[in-house]
Amino acid sequence: MTGTRVEALLVRRATLRIPFPAGFEERLVGHTVTAVTRRAKYLLATLSSGETLIVHLGMSGWFRVERAAGPEFDAEPGETDDDPKHDHVVFRLSSGMLVTFNDPRRFGLMDLAARGELTSHKALRDLGPEPLSAEFDGAVLARACHRRKTPIKVALLDQTVVAGVGNIYASEACFEARISPKRKASAIATSTGAPKPQAQVLAAAVVKVLERAIAKPTARFKVYERAGTACPRRNCEGTIRRIVQAGRSTFYCPACQR
Ligand SMILES: [Zn+2]
């Protein structure tokens, strides 16, 4: 979409998870997409108007990109195996492409942030730092955790602590750092919020497991969904255990994670 102009927009319903913003069509049509970026799980398309289109895929949303057969939206679409009744929004671009948002469960959303109001938008304002950015380190993690009585693994899932760590990698990061997922989050910080050494170790572990997952998405998890198997850490005799924390499965080695 970058560098293309939105020539037409088809919005087939009034609402996804939330209603489309007022004037959605007029605020998009005729404007050029100058950049497409991401913050946490939000896709951000910056427009030549200065506004930013915010998109979340929800549970089942996805985009289909195909060449338009003609100038009309009802021109024959490409071969797809999805159900077109879930095609909720179609962008016709100056490049001749159609970009279609399909979302059977409709937990996705689209909104627009006015110029200068992106970081204060309610979807983004409370998000913690991106874990793979320079803004994330042990000191930042410790400060976010030092008043939290929740277990450290639960804190890692809190998107206000750090954005983008999901249930799998929260377990994997605790294993990498040799920290028990049951430890109090505040234990990685001093009473004033300064980082203890474990905060640095855990922050580095978060970065390491995410970078490893991006580099090799099919790699086996070290502990996730491996309950009952031997701990993969060399010289550890432990057995991976599954527990439930805040309604989510956690996997860890009780022998080497303290
Ligand atoms: Zn172990």
Residue 30 has pLDDT above 90, yes or no: yes
**Å from CA of 176 to ligand 1 middle:** 10
Give the number of residues written for the chain: 258
**Å from CA of 239 to ligand 1 middle:** 7
**Å from CA of 37 to ligand 1 middle:** 38
What is the arithmetic mean of pLDDT over 70-79? 57
Q: Return the axis-axis angle of helices 138-145 and 197-215, rounded to nearest 10°.
A: 110
Lookup: tokens for 73 = 């939206």
Predicted structure pTM score: 0.83
**Å from CA of 256 to ligand 1 middle:** 4
Sequence spans of domains, the chain: 6-113, 138-252
Summarize pLDDT for 205-257 with one digit per residue, the tens.
Answer: 999 999 999 999 999 999 999 999 999 999 999 999 999 999 999 999 999 99
From its phi and psi, is residue 30 left (phi > 0), alpha (psi between -120 and 50) or beta? Answer: left
Taken in order 251, 254, 256, 258, the sign of the CA dihedral is positive
Lookup: tokens for 62 = 């996805």
Residue 75 has pLDDT above 90, yes or no: no
Topology of the domain comprising 6-113: N-terminal domain of MutM-like DNA repair proteins (3.20.190)
**Å from CA of 251 to ligand 1 middle:** 11
**Å from CA of 219 to ligand 1 middle:** 19
In CATH, the number for domain 138-252 is 1.10.8.50
Residue 78 has pLDDT above 90, yes or no: no
The SS3 call for residue 119 is coil
Q: Residue 149: which pLDDT band, with cuts at 50, 70 and 90?
A: very high
